[in-house]
A and B are shown apart, each in its own frame.
Chain A
Amino acid sequence: MSTLPSTPQSAESAIGTSRVKRGMAEQLKGGVIMDVVNAEQAKIAEDAGAVAVMALERVPADIRKDGGVARMSDPNMIEEIIEAVSIPVMAKSRIGHFVEAQVLQSLGVDYIDESEVLTPADEVNHSDKWAFTTPFVCGATNLGEALRRIAEGAAMIRSKGEAGTGNVVEAVRHLRQIKNEIAKLRGFDNNELYAAAKELRAPYELVKEVAELGKLPVVLFSAGGVATPADAALMRQLGAEGVFVGSGIFKSGDPAKRAAAIVKATTFYDDPKIIADASRNLGEAMVGINCDTLPEAERYANRGW
């Protein structure tokens, strides 16, 4: 099938297979993945019950503030974070910057995020992710985008949202979009699936697989704009299998407390009483940005094609 990779195999055992890459993301389900910029924050995230951390130089809110070109992080910082925690460590490469991805793989990170939050390196192509043993997570705003990333070898998808805004509206839009498009495919017969594949600009085999499964063939998380426990629970109830939280934690008044509260609300996402308790006395939330006021050039979700 088209979604299977060409990886080195022996009769005895095989590394970097599709099953191993996708299986890793399965193990993260129900969890919260937190952006961290140093070892100290990584420990706070781990103590709060994060299931993995994302190592990056600046959280999206600061990338917005500072401007300039945002790149892969310093290898020293990534290694310090790998040393500091025992949970998996992810790190970001620029879209299409397969050399940054090679560097991250050589550092031994557990997952590479080919991320629109960094400045894209290639305006046409994303990286060929089948070429790596390290699995990739990629962002998507709709089903076609998600399937194109999976066709390129992504082993996990996150909805994009609008990172660094503290505003959940775009995350909701993108997750609903993906779920609705999947639901529509469910009702299609074979004749219609060919046309759907053309419209989605995605391989027919993948489109057919999604229509049969009623879900993506890889894990789907939500990202971009989660700032409160209720935000996280909302994304879970809308069908996200877990959440990424970026600026929302370390740009708030009491990161440790907020991080633990978001973890709790993610686990008990369908229990309003527990979410209410988790939401009490968290101090100041990150200052949000109304997405309507964002100029087109500052919308990260538009990056990736």
Chain B
Amino acid sequence: MTNPLIGVLALQGDVREHLIALAAADAVARPVRRPEELAEVDALVIPGGESTTMSKLAVLFGMLEPLRERVKAGMPVYGTCAGMIMLADKLLDGRDDQETLGGIDMIVRRNAFGRQNESFEAKIDFAGIEGGPVEGVFIRAPWVESVGAAAEVLATYEGHTVAVRQGNVLATSFHPELTGDDRVHAYFVDMVRAGL
């Protein structure tokens, strides 16, 4: 079994933590900042960060269209927090000029759980992940307001959807990369393997 090559979008955000978590989950991981680097990877993680900044940098540095094309062509993608926002087909409470890649038929509300002072951690039951709940670290986190028929809800917190999958695309409101628990990354790496 070969280990898939997974890129982490490195425009801005907690790239290093994702690289470490992916390596722990038996993937070969590397940062991706340029279209030619994107072309080489089997799959992509979009890290946590500031979604408006990340969207802006993707436009400024010519990454938006290449990213959209790869997502459309079926590349497996996992987005955390800002990454979830990037993967939403539709966005609430974003900037008017904020671009997303799409990929999951869902409406995501930005900063839905509040600003930094409302940020929190909680245990989250995650469908398809065994061994007890995962630790969810929510930082200025979004939630999923609603999903289309093709999307599957994998986790909720206090009635709000916080993890979603549609085909090859996975998104969480929270940051498993900050906890040292690699099970969500392993779940994604398995998704990538299944498609190779």
Contact = CB atoms under 8 A, between A and B. Distances in A.
Query: Do A and B form a real pair?
Result: yes
Interface residues of B, number: 40
Contacts of B49: 27-31, 51
Given A108-B115, A267-B61, A49 B53 contact: yes
B190 interface: no
Contacts of B17: 26
The A interface, classified by DSSP as helix, strand, loop or mixed, is loop
Nearest to B111: A86
A51 B14 CA distance: 12
A260 B140 contact: no
The residue among A23, A24, A28, A47 with the most chain B CB atoms within 10 A of its own CB is A23
A268 B33 CA distance: 8
B3 interface: no
A110 interface: yes
A49 B137 CA distance: 25
B50 interface: yes
B139 interface: yes
B120 A30 contact: no
A31 B53 contact: yes
Contact of A26 (B95, B119, B140, B178): B178
A14 B120 contact: yes
Listed from nearest, the 9 A-B pairs whose CB atoms lie closest are A13-B122, A110-B116, A26-B14, A30-B12, A15-B120, A20-B119, A13-B120, A31-B12, A51-B53
22 contacts: A13-B121, A17-B120, A17-B121, A19-B121, A20-B139, A23-B119, A24-B116, A24-B139, A26-B13, A27-B48, A30-B10, A31-B49, A31-B53, A47-B56, A52-B50, A86-B111, A87-B53, A110-B117, A110-B140, A133-B117, A260-B60, A267-B33
